[in-house]
Chains A and B, each alone.
Chain A
Amino acid sequence: MTDKISSNWTSADDAIVENAIRRGASRRDLLQMLMAGGLAASASSLVLARATSALAQTPIKGGNLKAAGWSSSTADTLDPAKASLSTDYVRCCAFYNRLTFLDANGTLQMELADKFETKDAKVWTVTLKKGVTFHDGKPLTSADVIYSLKRHLDPAVGSKSNSLAKQMTEFKAVDPLTVEITLAAPNGDLPTILSTHHFMIIADGTTNFAKANGTGAFTCESFEPGVRSIAVKNKNYFKSGGANLDSFEFFAITDDTARVNALLSGDIQLAAAINPRSMRLVESQPNVVLSKTTTGNYTDLNMRLDMAPGNKADFVAGMKYLLNREQIQKSALRGLAEIANDQPVPPMNVYHNKDLKPKAFDPERAKSLFQKAGVLGQTIPIVASDAAGSSVDMAVLVQQAGNAIGMKFDIQRVPSDGYWSNYWLKAPVHFGNINPRPTPDILFSLLYASTAPWNESQYKSEKFDKMLLEARGSLDEAKRKQIYGEMQVMVSEEAGTAIPVYISNVDAISNKLKGLLANPLGGMMGYAFAEYVWLER
């Protein structure tokens, strides 16, 4: 994997090609893509051979993996309902299972569930797999599933998915392996919703999370919040073969440089989420491979429609033209992003509207729109913070573009600490950061419905709310796709949220670590890499 093809070809590009193959691109598509990128035909074949061979390898059993995330604190938890950091997700994925999960192509797969059935999308019957046991030997039954899902409704649990879980109003254990879930209103997405990390299944009655007792591929040998966890292969795992690794140690190294150094020195085999600034340094190393994932993570510029200056539609439209998306992609994020079109459903989602093109950078048009709104010449404050990744860089780019057309922006840089409770959703013009969600329904009901808890721009549209309910209750895929496509256009045109790019996540891994695939649920293979990867010796 070390032969260099051309001077500017990097392993990040390799990762892009690999991802394209996984998404089902044909050889012809890929060659076209590579030639368009200026690569000679002979070199292109070499790249393809390399990317394909990376995917077609047989796993090796055994070995101990040490991996480092980027954030960890004493608030680390093994309670899936409370999981909030990538570190928690990784651990929960190793120790527990979900009813369903999304594979590398974004397709829904059954995990603990055998099948989901419904007639009206309101009452769902979930059949569980037979012969699944928890680490303590207890077999999995419907009582465990009901307990795991129901606790999200209890405010004392502090679940992060409380608002999503609220729609599940009734749970019934039909028999030991069948659960009936009744929703407040029809929702065709229930199986996908239950594939998110907070809905991991724990044993009935669990209240102590000092250790994890799950059904997952690893058992929890030790867990110290803010320090580390050690996981050992679960010999009784219900999936045939089980994990490849014998054991798996996970901790976080918050300092970016220290994390990269630990990988380079061989102390760890995976350094999650490396900074774009460290990219070139890592790329020049022969024993390090980069894994790039572009999920729906984005940092957006929010203009509240119920406050000045966002209450003037022309101001909002002008701002969308004033965003230099390409420059944000190239300089603020050093190429680790895909250009977005002001709506939250990313290209790797099956419901993404391909016909909706991103707005071009057009300062003159922005100027005339600002003039129409009567704000030209005013100084508009923008709140930015490190809490919303890259928002300060984006704000500076907007400020520069504004200077050129006589529009002044005052960047108010505030500390990360307390940003989400004090500025986000509150300031008239500010930045937000939204993590990927698997379905348009979740994104829209969380962020754009009139009653949405995180309605970043206070967007309110009756038509939109009606469409949201219609698509949710429908089981007709074509119809849903069409409605969601239209809703994306509405958000892009009408809402006060400018989404310039989808931000990629790059994990740096040792070239000995194999089997890591990009996943739509997030970096590190949707945080679930431990179960699937293997170590070469």
Chain B
Amino acid sequence: MNLHLWSLLGGRLLVALLTLLIVSFVVFCATQILPGDVAEVLLGQAATPEAVAGLRAAMHLNDPAILRFFRWLGGMLTGDLGISYANNRPIAELIAGRLGNSLQLAAATALFSVPIALALGITSAMLRGSLYDRSVTMATITVISVPEFMIATSGVLIFAVWLKWLPALSFARDIHSFGEMLRIYAMPVFTLSFVISAQMIRMSRAAVVEALNTPYVEMAQLKGASRPRVVLRHALPNALGPIVNAVALSLSYLLGGVIIVETIFNYPGIAKLMVDAVATRDLPLIQSCAMIFCVVYLLLITTADVIAILSNPKLR
């Protein structure tokens, strides 16, 4: 049985690696389709044909596309992410600081939103049909429907411009004390939590409700188990698979999808780095960012799968 589990995990890992390779190739092809190249973008309006040709030659942009792809892939495999086209700096250096910021923001948001979302989801499943349940559902749908730039901008207007309680900008590296950290992270974390909690609340509620309708839960109730015990001991473990998947999906959004929050709070994260890279046609940087998003996504999904497998006796 254990061997079966390992082969299952190994299979997952292989598929993940293959996905990475395919993604890198697709991203590379997509960047080739973009109009213009880095030489034109760097020179901007000043791009006279001779200047572009000169810069292109100096940057080895005239090599065949496939050669540049394999050169990049080779570097990647040996741990060398390459040099940014746009500013001649090592990509590892550019990404390191930004990735750290993004992970910090993601971690703070996850720590804040996951427990709250799960608690809300599970309790509203327990009290299904009550006023509490209906108000949580209403609130979730309202929050899902408001775009995040709206939440973020209103937040800034109210708390930074009018009340002056919180700063309008969030620079992760200016933090000297815990209080300061709370102040700086308050608005971005709050905004992101709104965006990602809704799905987690709805999924966990649905999963628990479904589990509560099963015969074995009825059996447990007939045997006289208390309501919390029925939910936590019998229903929840069986609902864990879909819940963990919903959480993983929501969290994967926190790395690549937070461009709006990063822009409004001027938070130097990795999503903005990727958008910059696309705008400047900085191929190695686009590729590396795409790889990071892909790795994190696969990591979260694979972890969720593994937890689902381990928690489900039928899949085990």
Interface residues of A (CB under 8 A from B): 68, 73-77, 82, 84, 155-156, 158-163, 209-210, 224-228, 251, 253-255, 257-258, 261-262, 264-268, 417-418, 420-422, 424, 435, 453-454
| Minimum C-beta distance from B105 to chain A (A) | 15
Q: Residue on B with the closest CB to A285?
A: B161
Contacts A258-B266, A261-B168, A421-B36 given: A74-B280 contact, CB under 8 Å? yes
Q: Is the Cβ of A160 less than 8 Å from the Cβ of B273? A: no
Cβ contacts under 8 Å, A68 to chain B:
266
Q: Is the Cβ of B168 less than 8 Å from the Cβ of A158? A: no
Q: Judge if B285 is at the interface, Cβ distance under 8 Å.
A: yes
| Minimum C-beta distance from A335 to chain B (A) | 25
What are 21 inter-chain pairs, A to B, with CB distance below 8 A? A73-B280, A74-B94, A74-B282, A77-B87, A82-B42, A155-B57, A155-B58, A158-B39, A158-B42, A160-B44, A258-B153, A262-B160, A262-B169, A264-B160, A265-B168, A417-B34, A417-B35, A418-B35, A420-B44, A420-B45, A422-B36
Question: How many inter-chain contacts with C-beta < 8 Å in the A-B complex?
Answer: 136
Among B48-56, B62-70, B199-207, B211-219, the one that faces the other chain is B48-56
Q: Judge if B115 is at the interface, Cβ distance under 8 Å.
A: no
Q: Residue on A with the closest CB to B277?
A: A74
| Minimum C-beta distance from A243 to chain B (A) | 22
Known: A73-B279, A75-B42, A453-B48. 16 other contacts (CB 8 A): A74-B94, A74-B276, A75-B276, A84-B44, A155-B54, A158-B39, A158-B42, A158-B43, A160-B43, A162-B51, A227-B98, A253-B266, A261-B156, A417-B36, A420-B40, A422-B36
Cβ contacts under 8 Å, A254 to chain B:
263
Cβ contacts under 8 Å, A264 to chain B:
160-161, 168
Q: Is the Cβ of A74 less than 8 Å from the Cβ of B87? A: yes
Contacts A74-B84, A453-B48 given: A226-B169 contact, CB under 8 Å? no
Interface size grouping (class) on chain B: 35 or more
Q: Judge if B46 is at the interface, Cβ distance under 8 Å.
A: yes
Tell me the bound Cα distance from A115 to B46 in angstroms: 30
Q: Is the Cβ of A253 less than 8 Å from the Cβ of B94? A: no
Q: Judge if B256 is at the interface, Cβ distance under 8 Å.
A: no
Q: Which of B45, B88, B89, B157 has the most CB of A within 10 A?
A: B45
Q: Judge if B121 is at the interface, Cβ distance under 8 Å.
A: no
Cβ contacts under 8 Å, A265 to chain B:
156, 160-161, 164, 167-168
Q: Is the Cβ of B272 less than 8 Å from the Cβ of A163? A: no
| Minimum C-beta distance from B32 to chain A (A) | 14
Q: Is the Cβ of A162 less than 8 Å from the Cβ of B58? A: no
Q: Judge if B15 is at the interface, Cβ distance under 8 Å.
A: no
Q: Is the Cβ of B35 less than 8 Å from the Cβ of A422? A: yes
Cβ contacts under 8 Å, B264 to chain A:
255, 257-258
Q: Judge if B97 is at the interface, Cβ distance under 8 Å.
A: yes
Cβ contacts under 8 Å, B153 to chain A:
257-258, 261
Q: Judge if B107 is at the interface, Cβ distance under 8 Å.
A: no
Cβ contacts under 8 Å, B277 to chain A:
74
Q: Judge if B299 is at the interface, Cβ distance under 8 Å.
A: no
Q: Is the Cβ of A417 less than 8 Å from the Cβ of B51? A: no
Q: Which of B157, B266, B268, B282 has the most CB of A within 10 A?
A: B266
Q: Judge if B144 is at the interface, Cβ distance under 8 Å.
A: no
Q: Judge if B9 is at the interface, Cβ distance under 8 Å.
A: no
